[in-house]
């Protein structure tokens, strides 16, 4: 499977600088990848139907990335094959004042899917160890002295552990969490920003704050390395996938999603003998209707 080399399952450390941002190394042909993506989306549609009917697991797909890596368009593409009744998308923006009066998982818990449903997180609780760490936002949080007085290192080490524990908790409560980092290059980000500035219909996607974040590209990359290394496990893995070519990103995401749904081994619910004979009785009534 082409996604294997992008997998972090706790047995390996992440070094984003060694991971490609495009498909060159994989020596793939765009036409066949597009065709394979279509096939994957068809298979996902079938499996999602069974997953929805089975209602035994919930699936959370976390998408993380720097700006302009293509989170939105990836979501749009992958969602195109799904039954909207069984999937929700949650975008985690800057926390509201109300969010900030609670622990950082409070707003996340409210977005957990019901079993049988898929939730796509466009950004997530991982922002609480990423943007918060890069900008030291925790310093202004209203929290007890015993927390604020910790060293930064300790504060975030604890959060990595809390996140791993939270994901274990979810797994043990019949959820699956899969995390995907869209790995875009510094050059491609610039190209996409320029496009957002030059094309009026894309202006709304750009904010001058994006440039401030871009200036911290290396800091983010370093922290992502740590975060991915420390929060990967066999049951809640990370994938860091190339994001410079959208067609390849979409293929890899479809492959990852398909793999997760296959692992669920969902089945259509089987009727009890009693329910089945009830169904047969209804059938008889319908057939004999005058």
Nearer to ligand ATP by Cβ, of 93 and 290: the residue is 93
**64-103: which residues touch Mg ion (CB under 5 A)?**
67
End-to-end CA distance of the chain: 56
**Closest alpha carbon to 57 in 272, 271, 259, 267:** 267
**Residue from 2, 56, 90, 123 in contact with ligand ATP (CB under 6 A):** 123
> Least distance to ligand ATP from the beta carbon of 195, Å?
13
Taking CB under 6 A as the rule, does residue 93 contact ligand ATP?
Answer: yes
Residue 95 interacts with which of Mg ion, ligand ATP, none, CB < 5 to 8 Å by class: ligand ATP
Q: Which three-class secondary structure state does DSSP give residue 136? A: coil
Assess 131 for contact with ligand ATP (CB under 6 A).
Answer: yes
Instruction: Provide the minimum distance between the beta carbon of 207 and Mg ion in the complex, in angstroms, as a whole number.
Output: 6
- Map residue 182 onto helix, strand or coil: strand
CA distances to 118, 237, 274, 278, 280 from 283, in Å: 33, 46, 14, 9, 5
> Which residue's CB atom is positioned nearest to ligand ATP?
127
Q: Which of 56, 90, 190, 205 binds ligand ATP (CB under 6 A)?
A: 205
CA distance linking residue 24 with residue 39, whole number of Å? 22
Query: Kind of pairing, strands 58-65 and 118-122?
Result: parallel
Q: Choose the binding region for ligand ATP from 20-28, 38-46, 122-130, 161-169 (rule: CB under 6 A).
A: 122-130
CB of 189 or CB of 245, closer to ligand ATP: 189
């Amino acid at each position: 499977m082409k996604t294997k080399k992008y997998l972090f399952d706790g047995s390996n450390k992440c070094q984003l600088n060694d991971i490609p941002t495009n498909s060159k190394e994989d020596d793939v042909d765009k036409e066949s990848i597009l065709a394979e993506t279509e096939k994957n989306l068809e298979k996902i549609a079938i499996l999602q139907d069974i997953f929805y009917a089975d209602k035994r697991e919930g699936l959370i797909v976390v998408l993380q990335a720097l700006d302009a890596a293509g989170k939105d368009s990836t979501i749009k593409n992958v969602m195109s094959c799904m039954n909207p009744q069984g999937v929700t998308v949650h975008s985690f923006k800057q926390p509201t004042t109300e969010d900030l009066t609670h622990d950082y998982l409070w707003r996340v818990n409210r977005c957990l899917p019901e079993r049988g449903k898929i939730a796509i997180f466009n950004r997530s609780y991982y922002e609480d160890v990423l943007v918060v760490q890069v900008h030291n936002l925790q310093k202004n949080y209203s929290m007890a002295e015993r927390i604020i007085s910790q060293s930064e290192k300790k504060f975030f080490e604890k959060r990595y552990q809390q996140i791993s524990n939270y994901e274990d908790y979810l797994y043990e409560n019949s959820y699956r969490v899969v995390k995907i980092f869209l790995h875009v290059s510094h050059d491609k980000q610039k190209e996409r920003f320029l496009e957002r500035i030059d094309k009026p219909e894309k202006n709304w996607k750009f904010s001058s704050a994006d440039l401030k974040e871009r200036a911290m590209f290396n800091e983010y990359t370093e922290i992502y390395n740590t975060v991915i290394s420390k929060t990967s496990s066999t049951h809640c893995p990370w994938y860091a996938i190339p994001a410079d070519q959208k067609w390849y990103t979409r293929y890899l995401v479809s492959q990852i999603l398909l793999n997760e749904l296959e692992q669920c081994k969902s089945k259509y619910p089987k009727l009890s003998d009693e329910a089945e004979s009830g169904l047969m009785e209804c059938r008889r009534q319908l057939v004999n209707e005058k």
